[in-house]
A = this chain, B = another copy of it.
């Protein structure tokens, strides 16, 4: 069961050998636009993806999407990384943020000048100095000296549910690279009539939005959960929180030297919108908003083996904020919503009362100076 959407353009200009590292939802979904454009597409699975690779090799649909992948892609098991990486031109890291560094270390041995690395993971990590940093910066830190500044890193933001890329719902995403030529090159390889790509030099803004929108989406979920608790909708509350979240993304991005255009564009406003509609981050908030204690909600999701990126993003964001305060780039009172979410998620502050107070506190608080 495969999809015959591949265009034959092997060896022609405008196509490349693209190796996708990670056969989960997003990695697998990206095979669709890549194959449609005639690229040579390799999908490599980690040890955790063995079942996925076996299913695909047996001609079955992808076990996560329940959807067939393009007929022309090649799949490789974890132990076949060397074969998978042979002649690779583009490497797409499609690994959950917590395992990204570990897997990237294995990939590094096959990297050489002229290749481009794309990270589609959304999150933050600790850098070598102990500071919280964006994922492409962590990947750069991991590169051996010989390769530093030789491998362009591209970050991806914008509203993009993987399954919808697979289905080919019209999607718009942002590819960010300090040197925009490389973003343009990748855009040319991957963009289709349904998978639309804009490019930007603002890596920091794109990545901060990508990571932190998960944190704020937990907050949007809280307002959804209030319906069960209070017996009536809190859409006004959700929209107020949405607006405050955008304002705090702007403050964070500005303090880190990124561009506000990313915040009000696809990486910020757009991705927050789609993340607030559905997904794990929203669900975690919803459960807590409905009345469950944060501790118990986290435990429940851990027991079900569900990783909620927004939960750790709240902690990373909270630490990033403290870091920025120490550096004099932010004052401690500038991100009340993030602090409130931290209190609810990590210190068991009562969700309903805390959010009511936050809405009071945040109304009229933010000044954009634009």
Q: B-contacting residues of A (Cβ < 8 Å)?
A: 158-161, 163-165, 167, 169-172, 193-194, 196-199, 226, 230, 232-240, 242-243, 246-247, 250, 259-261, 264-266, 269-271, 273-274, 276-278, 355-356, 359-360, 362-364, 366-370
Contacts and interface: CB of A to CB of B under 8 A. Distances in A.
A368 B260 contact: yes
Contacts of A171: 236-237, 240, 359
A232 B364 contact: no
Given A234-B170, A265-B243, A196 B360 contact: yes
A176 to B, nearest CB: 12
A264 B261 contact: no
Given A164-B237, A170-B237, 8 more contacts: A159-B240, A163-B233, A170-B240, A239-B271, A243-B266, A246-B269, A261-B370, A265-B366
- For A240, A259, A276, A360, which residue has the most chain B Cβ atoms within 10 angstroms? A240
B167 A232 contact: yes
A62 to B, nearest CB: 15
A243 B172 contact: yes
B266 A169 contact: no
Contacts of A243: 159, 172, 265-266, 269-270, 273
Given A159-B235, A165-B236, A260-B368, A196 B242 contact: no
22 contacts: A159-B243, A163-B232, A167-B230, A169-B233, A169-B234, A169-B235, A170-B356, A170-B360, A172-B359, A196-B360, A198-B364, A235-B277, A238-B273, A238-B274, A243-B265, A243-B266, A247-B264, A260-B368, A260-B370, A261-B368, A269-B269, A370-B370
Helix, strand, loop or mixed for chain A's interface? Answer: helix
- For A194, A264, A278, A355, which residue has the most chain B Cβ atoms within 10 angstroms? A264
A193 B226 CA distance: 17
- For A161, A277, A363, which residue has the most chain B Cβ atoms within 10 angstroms? A363
A258 B368 CA distance: 14
A165 B235 CA distance: 11
Nearest to A360: B196
A271 B324 CA distance: 31
Contacts of A278: 235
A306 to B, nearest CB: 20
A158 B237 CA distance: 11
A273 B230 CA distance: 21
Nearest to A192: B360
